[in-house]
Amino acid sequence: MTGLSPQVVTETIWALNRREPGVFFIAMTLLTTASGAAAAARLLPQGLRALEAHLGRALPEPDIRLLRDSSGAALEDILTDRDNEGAARVRTHKVL
């Protein structure tokens, strides 16, 4: 899950690669709002390329998926209890 701070993705990858053994990523899916997707598209590529240089290997391109409300419209932000419940359902469904 990313919001308006997609650097959480690169920070998480970096932290997981410091573990022994490090985590090797074969896929990356980001669940986010419409605002978060715009921020990720703008900021994440540069951060991922820098991280690849640091790690010495390529990372998968992220699959950015939008959180949607019950009618299928992309959420701009998670503002209400209903938005939060919908986002929680999507997260649980994607993980399971």
Count H helices and E strands in the chain, helices first: 3, 2
pLDDT at 42: 92
- Give me the mean pLDDT over the 67-80 stretch: 81
3-state SS, 50-80, equals HHHHHHCCCCCCCEEEECECCCCCECCCCCC
Let me know if residue 66 belongs to a domain.
Answer: yes
Let me know if residue 2 belongs to a domain.
Answer: no
d(CA 42, CA 48): 12
Let me know if residue 89 belongs to a domain.
Answer: yes
- Model pLDDT for residues 39-65, shown as the tens digit of each residue: 999 999 999 999 999 999 999 999 998
Is a pLDDT exceeding 80 seen at residue 1? no
Let me know if residue 46 belongs to a domain.
Answer: yes
pLDDT at 96: 44
Let me know if residue 45 belongs to a domain.
Answer: yes
pLDDT band at 4 (very low <50, low <70, confident <90, very high): confident
Distances (CA, A) of 64 to 35, 36, 67: 12, 9, 10
Domain that holds residue 33: 7-95
Structural domain tally of the chain?
1
Let me know if residue 1 belongs to a domain.
Answer: no
Let me know if residue 17 belongs to a domain.
Answer: yes
Let me know if residue 30 belongs to a domain.
Answer: yes
- Give me the mean pLDDT over the 62-73 stretch: 84
pLDDT band at 78 (very low <50, low <70, confident <90, very high): confident
pLDDT at 91: 63
- Burial tier of 46 (Cβ tally within 10 Å: 0-12, 13-18, 19+): exposed
- Give me the mean pLDDT over the 11-27 stretch: 88
Share the mean pLDDT of the chain: 85
